[in-house]
Copies of this chain bind each other. A is one copy, B any other.
Amino acid sequence: MKKKLSINDIAKSLNVSVTTISFILNGHAEEKRISDELVQRVQKYIAEVGYKPNSLARSLRTGKSHTIGLMVEDISNPFFANIARMIEDNAYKNGYKILYCSTDNDTEKTKDLIQMFQERHVDGYIIAPPEGVETEINTLISSGSPVVLFDRNLPEVNTDYVGIDNYGSTYNAINHLISRGYRNIGFVTLSSLQSQMQERMQGYESALAEHNMYQHIKEIPYSNEPDDIIKHVSAFLMRKKELDAVLFGTNYLAVNGLRAIYNLGLKIPDDLAVIAFDDHDVFQLSNPSITAITQPIKEISGEVINLLLNKLKSPLKQKKVQTLILDTTLQIRKSLR
């Protein structure tokens, strides 16, 4: 178990001061007028013995950890997993590592996690926040940490945000259903005050209101136990036999909603038309395939990481806060009559 080399060992071996080596390592050689000959000698030796500076010591000194904290609702949800994947790739390309965690939409857990990230001195945060963490995030921001929010916005937090046009997405989807002749359209959503869920609901409500149609809304408490969702959806469908179409507010609501629908022996689209918010492999491959409102995952993650990297690169200029709202696509499949 050979111990790792330190900059001191290198300095001794080469009979040079640590200062000089540090300068060379950090690209200050020119500026500090270190002779070319010496620069060469040091670099050669370093490459030879494979010396790597201790990042902890470096971070302690500089205050930068080159780590980004990523907080999503649930990393095992394909939407977030895909976003995480793209953010990861991009971050690594730019020399940043990712510390991640799943919030479970749990306010207290999220507060703890924010504190953990803070203790770990992450340089920046990417957060899909639950409700109720406004103060914590504002504290982060005012202490100088760059924060980018995505998926759901917090109005009381003044920072960059990347999201989609939730209102327009459901509004269009419902109008599409209406144009196809559906008259009793249900909406299954989370009982959550998160901005994205509220906007989706409003889109649904507006579209119905314009056609003087009744609302049929089912709000389900957040749970990562599929059975909970299945039960709620089943009960809702049993109670509302008049429904001829239903829009699910998230992909996992839809996935488990499908289970409920199949359990009840309902046929899609004859007994019930279905649209899901967020795409999922299941929707493409089930038979019939399920119409979905698809988010531009690649652009979302691209914009998110770009905004954060920009902030990290030039922390000085207090640029205007950016709010990016991207468009979704209604991917029409066989689940509509």
Contact = CB atoms under 8 A, between A and B. Distances in A.
B119 A102 contact: no
Most chain B beta-carbon contacts within 10 A, residue among A2, A56, A98, A287:
A56
A116 interface: yes
Given A2-B143, A97-B99, A286-B285, A121 B55 contact: yes
Interface in A134-182: 142-144
Given A81-B78, A81-B81, A88 B102 contact: yes
A291 interface: no
Given A286-B286, A287-B286, A57 B60 contact: yes
A215 interface: no
Given A75-B84, A81-B81, A85-B75, A285 B2 contact: no
Contacts of A60: 54, 56-57, 60
A152 to B, nearest CB: 20
Nearest to A251: B281
Interface stretch (A26-34, A188-196, A241-249, A255-263): A255-263
B116 A88 contact: no
A44 interface: no
A5 interface: no
B84 A76 contact: yes
A55 to B, nearest CB: 5
Interface string A238-278: 00000000000000000100110010000000000000000
Stoichiometry, copies per complex? 2
Nearest to A259: B285
A76 B65 contact: no
Interface residues of A, number: 52
A97 B287 CA distance: 41
A255 B76 contact: no
Contact of A281 (B53, B97, B281, B287): B281
A133 to B, nearest CB: 17
A144 B3 CA distance: 10
Interface in A91-126: 92, 97-102, 113, 115-116, 118-121
Nearest to A56: B60
26 contacts: A1-B143, A1-B144, A52-B118, A53-B119, A55-B119, A55-B120, A56-B56, A56-B65, A60-B60, A67-B120, A74-B85, A75-B84, A75-B85, A76-B84, A78-B81, A88-B100, A88-B102, A92-B116, A98-B100, A99-B99, A255-B281, A258-B285, A281-B281, A282-B285, A282-B286, A285-B286
